[in-house]
Chains A and B, each alone.
Chain A
Amino acid sequence: MISNILFDMILYSTPIILCVIGGNFAYKANVLNIALEGMMLSGAFVSMFIVYFTGNIPLAVAGALVSGLLLGLLFSFLGITCKGNVIVIGLGINMMVSGIAAFVLRLMNSSNIYVKTINVSIFKVNIPLIENIPFIGKIISGHTVITYLSFFLIFVVWLLMYRTKLGIYVRTVGEDEDAAKSVGINTDFYKYMAVLIGALFSALAGVNLAMENLMLFTNNMTAGRGFIAIAAIYCGQGRPVTSSLFAIIFGLAWALSVDLSTYAGSASGLFNVVPYVLMTVVLAVVSIYRYKNNKMRGYKFE
């Protein structure tokens, strides 16, 4: 039972972690990217679309990543080059992906994309030695490739953010754009990079969600995970490791709501609320803690 919940925690954390570590860059660059949700959905949709018609899994992953990058470029072009309102653009992209998916599904005369011929078990990795450890083996082993990759990527992103020129410049641009400009940093370029990294990771999260775990796409299957990721980023103030920890907490909430709902009988539908409400509470607690000693008046608008 407990090992089941913890196993699911890792399962449900994965897409959120990927969105979080990708979205961190945009947050640090002061470009609020709420299109993570749509980019994730496009990754899910494009990967399943390609698998459905070609059966070629590497091509599907590549296609999903390209679709994410294209959305990232669209977002950056409108938001950074044309100086549009990034929140509106983000919502626009979310609506567009869901709209296009609905349109294509309608043309295919189907309510979902499901591939029977490929069994999802081919993506599962059983780690040889760890697999046999009694309790931990059950939790850690048997996840998908992208799941392991995502936990590894937390470390990579940390390196990228704090130990490379790209990361430092992105953070500089976010902190004070004029200062960054005055020392000759191409601020637009680093903002573009920040958004594109987020887009790439979100698309990967979509692949994990739809193709790796279910081999199934239904519209709006991301169910607000992108927004949960943004909440996690806010809670962790854009620090990769801290934000990822919050992402795991939300993964746990999701696992609890799914696993416990099977025991709840008629009230099971209500358990789906848990992740969203928990997130609101965590966000409030973190904010209270952060502004506890703040004596400044006024409100900063993001």
Chain B
Amino acid sequence: MTGRKIPLSIINSLMPVILALLIGGIIITMIGQNPFTTYQVLFQQSLFTPQGLAYTLHGAAPLILTGLAIAITFKANIFNMGVEGQFVLGGFVAGIVALYCKSLPGPLAQFICLVAGIIGGMLFALVPALLKKYFRVNEMVVTLMLNYAMATVLEFLTTGIFRDNGSGYVTTPMIPKSVMFPRFGDTHITFFFVIVMLVFIIMYIVMKKSVLGYEMTAIGKNPGFAEATGMRVGNKIVTLMLISGALAGLGGAGYMLSDQYSYTLNFSANPGMGWDGMLVSLLGGHNPLGVLVAAVFYSALKNGSQDINIFTGVPQEIIAVIQSLLVLFLSVKFISENTHVFDRIRSFFRKKSSVKEE
């Protein structure tokens, strides 16, 4: 049974990728460009050169964290859509705290910044979690709304109180080089990637081997049953939301300290690292190992999008379109116990052939 299940889930993740790239290719053809060269450029640089691969892994680090943040809640059927907000808050807080840690030794300053980011993300996740626990407010609606509120507040703080007046555009002051994570050699990979891998291993154990991981799956499958067997579903929801917020906050803080140098209004880009995390989690089937692979794949896609902007006539905005198509196709399980797409096709043809025989 398990032997059959693993390839099935891989096919379920591969089919949408192929379909989305296919439709993306059709769009590229429609604007008069060659889809094959575009895709070649897209993946060649970002996956098959050492420098590009290192940059891809570097870009995958925050995605792994936001992906895990989404996976841990989606698995329990809680929809923490606030990962985006938690991510930017974590980044912002870390960016501001870093300014006050100038005189501290590097590792200590980085540790303080990361913790500050984690606390920021957790506090933001706490609001919908408590509302859900005590008042049964739909967490999805609340988090979606609070993302906008968070974006507005941070925009206000960046353009007002924390603005770097010496800069020509809206941004917070630059983080001193001593607080930023140093790079390994001439690659883009920093110590943050190591931290992410450690967190990944911890999360793998939590999700796969721990009691909490089991309870999470149970709540996701049937909250009524979980409650009846004595789990305190409300408390578990708060715990899961806090972990999710912490992961997202850490992602934001690490992204700030390993890549960004300062908080700009475009910190998380469009459509945002939190949403990318949702795609990564869906692509990985809410499974930690799947998230890891999906994050690297998606980072390659994002990384390569800059190359196609330079080397071909295709605007890099095509990636956002491909990404949304991916999400759409990933929402449907092509082969599963519920839909039986292939069985249906098979039975359809069987019917036809049996008609012929008659």
Residue from the list B131, B135, B331 in contact with A84, Cβ < 8 A: B331
Which residues of chain B in 300-358 are interfacial with respect to chain A, using CB atoms and an 8 Å cutoff? 315, 317-318, 320-321, 323-325, 327-328, 330-333, 338-339, 341
Q: Which residues of A contact B320 (CB under 8 A)?
A: 95, 98-99, 102-103
Query: Is B315 a contact of A98 with CB atoms below 8 Å?
Result: no
Of A96, A106, A107, chain B has the most CB atoms within 10 Å of the CB of A96
Query: Is B321 a contact of A299 with CB atoms below 8 Å?
Result: no
Known A85-B331, A99-B320; judge A301-B77 contact (CB<8 A). yes
Nearest CB of A to B33, in Å: 11
Which residues of chain B in 68-97 are interfacial with respect to chain A, using CB atoms and an 8 Å cutoff? 77, 79, 81
Nearest CB of B to A184, in Å: 23
Residue from the list B146, B155, B227, B278 in contact with A280, Cβ < 8 A: B146
Query: Is B317 a contact of A99 with CB atoms below 8 Å?
Result: yes
Number of B interface residues in the complex (CB < 8 A) = 56
Closest to B322 in A: A99
Q: Bound complex: CA of A301 vs CA of B74, how far in Å? A: 12
Of B160, B321, B338, chain A has the most CB atoms within 10 Å of the CB of B321
Q: Which residues of B contact A85 (CB under 8 A)?
A: 331
Q: Bound complex: CA of A152 vs CA of B81, how far in Å? A: 34
Does B271 have its Cβ within 8 Å of any Cβ on chain A?
yes
Q: Bound complex: CA of A34 vs CA of B331, how far in Å? A: 14
Does B270 have its Cβ within 8 Å of any Cβ on chain A?
yes
**Interface with B: A51-59, A130-138, A282-290, which one?**
A282-290
Query: Is B135 a contact of A291 with CB atoms below 8 Å?
Result: yes
Does B234 have its Cβ within 8 Å of any Cβ on chain A?
yes
- Flag B1-17 by CB within 8 Å of A: 1 or 0 each: 00000000000000000
Query: Is A95 a contact of B152 with CB atoms below 8 Å?
Result: no
Does A234 have its Cβ within 8 Å of any Cβ on chain B?
yes
Q: Bound complex: CA of A283 vs CA of B143, how far in Å? A: 12
Nearest CB of A to B76, in Å: 9
Known A99-B324, A276-B149; judge A297-B270 contact (CB<8 A). no
Nearest CB of A to B226, in Å: 9
Closest to A235 in B: B141
Closest to A232 in B: B141
Which residues of chain B in 132-170 are interfacial with respect to chain A, using CB atoms and an 8 Å cutoff? 132, 135-138, 140-142, 144-149, 152-153, 155-156, 159-160
Query: Is B332 a contact of A78 with CB atoms below 8 Å?
Result: yes
Q: Bound complex: CA of A281 vs CA of B257, how far in Å? A: 34
Query: Is A231 a contact of B77 with CB atoms below 8 Å?
Result: no
Residue from the list B228, B323, B331 in contact with A89, Cβ < 8 A: B331
Query: Is B271 a contact of A95 with CB atoms below 8 Å?
Result: yes
Which residues of chain B in 158-217 are interfacial with respect to chain A, using CB atoms and an 8 Å cutoff? 159-160
Q: Bound complex: CA of A297 vs CA of B230, how far in Å? A: 11
Q: Which residues of B contact A231 (CB under 8 A)?
A: 141, 145
Query: Is A276 a contact of B148 with CB atoms below 8 Å?
Result: yes
Using a CB–CB distance below 8 Å, which chain A residues touch chain B?
34, 74, 78-79, 82-89, 91-93, 95-96, 98-100, 102-103, 106-107, 223-224, 227-228, 230-231, 234, 266-267, 269-270, 272-273, 276-277, 279-280, 283-284, 287-288, 291, 297-302
Using a CB–CB distance below 8 Å, which chain B residues touch chain A?
27, 31, 77, 79, 81, 127, 131-132, 135-138, 140-142, 144-149, 152-153, 155-156, 159-160, 223-224, 227-228, 233-234, 237, 270-271, 275, 278, 282, 315, 317-318, 320-321, 323-325, 327-328, 330-333, 338-339, 341
Given contacts A86-B331, A103-B27, A288-B135, 13 further A-B contacts (CB under 8 A): A92-B331, A93-B324, A98-B270, A98-B271, A100-B321, A223-B148, A230-B144, A269-B160, A298-B233, A299-B136, A301-B77, A302-B138, A302-B140
Which 9 residue pairs of A and B lie closest in terms of their CB atoms, listed nearest first?
Answer: A99-B320, A96-B324, A92-B327, A95-B324, A84-B331, A269-B156, A84-B332, A92-B328, A88-B331
